[in-house]
Amino acid sequence: MESNRFPGLLPRSPSARCGTVIHRIIEAAAKKKINEEDDFEEYWNRCIMIEEKEMADSWIERHLVPLKKSTPKYELKKYQCLLAIRSMFNKTRSHAAYDIINKISREIWLETQNKVVGGLVDAIISTKTGDIIVDYKTGSITKLIGNHEAVQEIYKIQLQLYAAIYNSAFGIWPVSLQIAGIDGISYEIDFNQKECINLLNEAYHIATEINYVVADETNLGEMNDLLSSPSPETCRYCLYRPACQSYLERREISPPAEWPKDIIGTLYEKKILGNGLILIRVVANNNNLDMITIRGLHPGRHPALNFESDKIAIFSMVSDNSPNNFKEGILTTIYIRR
């Protein structure tokens, strides 16, 4: 659905919106659309306005406007973005940098010779010793694994795949793979050519399977079952969970702890509390038929609660004291179900 530009059914987080703004500004600075640091404030406000306009037009996101209030550490993110472009300008002015860097190419589409696998690389830095592939991230790059911080596995796989695609396209390997954070810290990703080729072969295999299923004219529901592979990790940030039957079915049969905090069930009770907020009780469609309580729901945010329907689905709740008690969070969204 995302590749068809189908609008998300759940809100994008304000941090993700801010990340889009930061990416846009870094790209503009790289393309010299922002000439000096003085343009930063104006450009930032313009990009924020574009995001907020889109949010205001969406019933699931309009309560998150303005981003200044809804984004955690908004001012810090803005300042880090300013530091990032300041450092870009300084590097451009530095003669020393030009001595080792022949050329920096931004936003390069790389694809394998057979055009089956491709990806948009943030930057390729050509040096005297070879090319460095760089990907910029505005969110957290590392994750606590055991008792030490390590670069997240999905980012390593992404960069290793870029290396293999680069090799397929040009017949040589990059000399380095790097992930750069908005805080100015870069992480070098180790890679081994054989592992990169294995990853690319796996990507070819997946692409062939997808094309086979699509060409088979299977109906949409069956296609969804065949192509989706729900898991807590892959579905957590997916904005299409409300429409994904595979996800809804899979989470019913596996333990709930790791899955996103969503409930699908039957509305048992709805009451408006003294503070004007709504409390609902829902009997969950799980094997135990648990009774779930969700409080703190703002009436204006949830039109689904105005409909006479007992089938209901609540997404992105926030835990509240005990296992079956939840409350509304900034991303909580409710749909009625048939």
- Coil vs helix vs strand at 278: strand
Nearer to ligand SF4, 149 or 225 (CB): 225
Determine what percent of the chain falls in helix, strand and coil, rounding each to the nearest 5. 40, 25, 30
The residue with tokens 């969700």 is 294
Nearer to ligand SF4, 3 or 287 (CB): 3
**C-alpha 93: how far from chain center:** 34
Q: Residue 57 burial (CB < 10 Å; 0-12/13-18/19+)?
A: exposed
Question: Please, what is the minimum distance in Å from the beta carbon of residue 224 to ligand SF4?
Answer: 8
Which of 125-133, 214-222, 230-238, 284-292 is the region at the interface with ligand SF4 (rule: CB under 6 A)?
Answer: 230-238
The residue with tokens 């500004």 is 25
Q: Which of 123, 159, 238, 263 binds ligand SF4 (CB under 6 A)?
A: 238
Nearer to ligand SF4, 55 or 244 (CB): 244
Question: Please, what is the minimum distance in Å from the beta carbon of residue 237 to ligand SF4?
Answer: 8
Which of 88-96, 150-158, 206-214, 239-247 is the region at the interface with ligand SF4 (rule: CB under 6 A)?
Answer: 239-247
Does position 235 bind ligand SF4 by CB under 6 A?
yes
Question: Please, what is the minimum distance in Å from the beta carbon of residue 323 to ligand SF4?
Answer: 23
Which of 52-60, 70-78, 237-245, 276-284 is the region at the interface with ligand SF4 (rule: CB under 6 A)?
Answer: 237-245
Residue type, 207: A
Does position 204 bind ligand SF4 by CB under 6 A?
no
φ, ψ of residue 171 in degrees (nearest 5): 75, 5
Interface pattern 245-284 for ligand SF4 (x via CB under 6 A): -xx-------------------------------------
Q: Which of 113, 192, 201, 234 binds ligand SF4 (CB under 6 A)?
A: 234
Does position 244 bind ligand SF4 by CB under 6 A?
yes
Residue type, 270: K
Question: Please, what is the minimum distance in Å from the beta carbon of residue 3 to ligand SF4?
Answer: 11
Q: What would the two tokens of residue 76 be? A: 């810090």
Interatomic CA distance for residues 137 and 23, integer angstroms: 8
Which of 66-74, 206-214, 227-235, 318-326 is the region at the interface with ligand SF4 (rule: CB under 6 A)?
Answer: 227-235
Q: What would the two tokens of residue 260 be? A: 């996103």
- Coil vs helix vs strand at 255: coil
Which helix (DSSP H) or strand (DSSP E) does residue 62 occupy?
none
Among 167, 181, 169, which residue's Cα sits nearest to residue 113? 169
Interatomic CA distance for residues 285 and 337, integer angstroms: 12
Binding footprint of ligand SF4 on the chain (CB under 6 A): 228, 230, 234-235, 238, 240-241, 244, 246-247
